[in-house]
Amino acid sequence: MPEKLYPKYVFCIEGDWEGNLNRTASVRPVLELLDINAGVKFIYRDCSTIGEMEFLIGKWRQRGYSRYKILYLAFHGSQGEILINSRDRVTLEQLGERLDGRCHRRLIYFGACSVLAIDERVIKRFLRTSGAKAVCGYTTDVDWMKSTALDLIAMSELQKFSMTLQGLEAAEKSIRRSTKALSGKLGFRMVYL
């Protein structure tokens, strides 16, 4: 009997892209589009400090948010880390420790440049430490508009598959099929256990 599919709601934490309060670049409209057109509910919060990020991740891990299967971290990034602001960084290892094995059947989506441009063993160690089933993200420095478009397609495609190994393999194939050249050019990567 196939696993019943429930919506994988999105819990988004977005960093300050520019450091300029006059700029309004945000992934929030993408989440609104997913909600309006695919019924994917979301929680959106912005974040400028490590303390804010830790607080929000703590909320996401609570039982009341168990339907929010996708943690979407929309930040600047570099190999193996997300950039919270111009001074503060959080490595995958540090993030895994903060998640503390409490991400059962959840996926962490890094909407950030180059975070997954690291050895697969490091990513799998992060998955084991965090308890997450999978991660998605990029291995290159990406164009914001193009990567945001791919994020939208990927999160929509993820709704169609279970969080099992077979479901995640099928989701990855579907995302790649739907985005062809874009996912290759942006270095889209999906790793799962």
| pLDDT class of 192 with cuts at 50, 70, 90 | very high
Segments making up each domain of the chain, as ranges: 10-192
Both tokens assigned to 173: 């194939």
Tokens of 11: 């819990």
Burial 119-148 (b: 16+ CB within 10 A, else e): eeebbeebbebbbbbbbbbbbeebeeeebb
pTM of the model: 0.94
pLDDT at 116 over 80: yes
How many CB atoms lie under 10 A from the CB of residue 164? 14
pLDDT-derived band at 59 (thresholds 50, 70, 90) equals very high
DSSP secondary structure letter of residue 12: E
CATH of 10-192, one of 3.40.50.10190, 3.90.600.10, 3.40.50.1460, 1.10.3720.10: 3.40.50.1460
For the chain, how big is the Rg over CA atoms in Å?
A: 15
Structure token pair of residue 108:
């962490």
**What is the pLDDT at residue 6?**
78
| Predicted confidence (pLDDT) at residue 1 exceeds the cutoff of 50 | no
**Three-state DSSP state, 78:** strand
**How confident is the model over 140-171, as pLDDT tens digits?**
999 999 999 999 999 999 999 999 999 999 99
